[in-house]
Amino acid sequence: MKAHLLEIRGLTTSFRIGDAYYAAVDDVSLTVNPNEVVAIVGESGSGKSALAFSIMGLHNQAKISGDIDFRGQRLNELSRTALNKLRGREIGMIFQDPLSALNPLMTVGDQIEEALILHRPEMKKSERKSKVLQLLTQVGIQEAERVALNYPHELSGGMRQRIVISIAVANEPQLLIADEPTTALDTTIQLQILDLIRKLKKDIGAGIVLITHDIGVVAEMADRVAVMYAGQIVEMADIHTLLSDPKHPYTRSLLRSKPSDDTPKSRLYSIQGAVPSLSNLPREGCRFRHRIPWIGEAAHEENPQMHELSPGHYVRCSCYRHFWFPGEEDIQHGAS
């Protein structure tokens, strides 16, 4: 059996608020294999980006415990120098906001070249210039020579996102983390970016961690899915199982709130309430129980655990056995 490309065990990432630390990522375990897309899905505030930044070692002031192993190396125990050698070379990241991720005072060509200078010092200047143009072409940018001379503010949002992607894959990393790569882009550009990431997975053979709140993106891209809520993974399965047989009330609620072509005139389902703030997050019992108040307390575990329902399909808490949507009382009672 081959070793995992990335293996996370019991990861907890806590931030200080006032005099106390609060976990934004709470005891998360996850694996990623080469040539696999693992999607992390959930609402804003679920801990998705905090997880991505933990893997990359980009939290400046956070308390981190647990293990983050990448190809046999314990990332969260590496020195800053050793981690910098890995980031950009073996691990790449596509950031959520390309405008803030790019340097406004450098041309985009120089910023792509900088990634090559840092990690491939043996390359000649002429080789780097040629590689920059190749990367721009690879991410679907026409007139690469002209665009390389542009500054970020001179480009559209979709073009800037392509630049961020070209920097992330410049050194053909084995692991690529994409944090909401299609946020704030129109539908046409979103599809182009997703096609590009899919092509890069095929060309490079990289393992990809795709962070998103969009179930539609997950359905298009993922091999496996981890659903996060309030810092915890509440369900994990391969994409076909998750879409055809979701179990956790939160997963089912997310899927039901997605527009469907089958019922175009039906009213969208809205999940009650919102993800609690970090300092107000309930740390005992089922963290989703307050948003499904019609399900009795007895249906929830006092200390919810992950249960393996079938090979590779895990769900947290026993409440999934008792869950139903409002308006389905007759169906639920009839089934019982």
Q: Please tell me which of 128-142, 180-194, 318-332 the model is most confident about, judged by mean pLDDT.
A: 128-142
In the chain, helix, strand, coil percent, each to 5?
A: 40, 25, 40
> Do you know the residue count of the chain?
336
Which amino acid is it at 41?
Answer: V
Structure-model confidence comparison of residues 322 and 327, the more confident one: 322
Give the lowest-confidence range in 88-102, 194-208, 307-321: 194-208
pLDDT in tens, 253-268: 999 987 765 555 567 7
Name the nearest CA neighbour of 169 among 157, 159, 177: 177
pLDDT at 184 over 80: no
pLDDT in tens, 9-53: 999 999 999 999 999 999 999 999 999 999 999 999 999 999 999
In eight-state DSSP terms, residue 41 is: E
List all residues 6 or more positions away from 14 whose beta carbon is below 8 Å from its beta carbon: 21, 22, 23, 24, 62, 63, 64
Q: What is the rounded end-to-end Cα distance, in angstroms, of the chain?
A: 43
Rounded to 5 degrees, φ, ψ at 43 are -70, 170
Q: Please tell me which of 175-184, 212-221, 234-243, 262-271 the model is most confident about, judged by mean pLDDT.
A: 234-243
Q: How confident is the model at residue 336 (pLDDT cuts 50, 70, 90)?
A: very low
Please compute the mean of the pLDDT values over residues 234-247 and round it to a whole number.
97
pLDDT at 237 over 50: yes
Strand order in the sheet with 63-70: 20-32, 6-17, 63-70, 73-74
Q: According to the model, what pLDDT value does residue 334 have?
A: 43
Q: According to the model, what pLDDT value does residue 222 have?
A: 95
DSSP states along 69-95: EETTEEGGGS-HHHHHHHBTTTEEEE-
Cβ-contact 51, 76 below 8 angstroms: no
DSSP states along 258-287: S--SSSTTSPPP--SS-PPPGGG---SS-T
Q: According to the model, what pLDDT value does residue 216 have?
A: 86
Q: Which residues pair with 20 in a beta bridge?
A: 17
pLDDT at 235 over 60: yes
Cβ-contact 8, 64 below 8 angstroms: no
Please compute the mean of the pLDDT values over residues 178-194 and round it to a whole number.
83
Rounded to 5 degrees, φ, ψ at 138 are -60, -35
Please compute the mean of the pLDDT values over residues 67-76 and round it to a whole number.
94
Query: Would you state the structure tokens that stand for residue 246, as one six-digit string?
Result: 């979701």
Please compute the mean of the pLDDT values over residues 66-73 and round it to a whole number.
94
pTM over 0.85: yes
- The SS3 call for residue 161 is helix
Rounded (5°) CA angle 195-200-201: 100
Whole-number mean pLDDT of the chain? 91
Cβ-contact 234, 26 below 8 angstroms: no
Please compute the mean of the pLDDT values over residues 96-119 and round it to a whole number.
94
Please compute the mean of the pLDDT values over residues 273-295 and round it to a whole number.
93
Strand order in the sheet with 306-310: 91-94, 175-179, 207-212, 37-41, 224-229, 232-238, 313-316, 306-310
pLDDT at 333 over 60: no
pLDDT in tens, 311-326: 999 999 999 999 999 9
Q: According to the model, what pLDDT value does residue 75 have?
A: 95
Cβ-contact 88, 172 below 8 angstroms: no
Cβ-contact 193, 162 below 8 angstroms: yes
Name the nearest CA neighbour of 112 among 129, 87, 89: 129
pLDDT at 194 over 90: no
Give the lowest-confidence range in 136-150, 179-193, 210-224, 306-320: 179-193
List all residues 6 or more positions away from 59 whose beta carbon is below 8 Å from its beta carbon: 13, 50, 53
Please compute the mean of the pLDDT values over residues 48-77 and round it to a whole number.
94
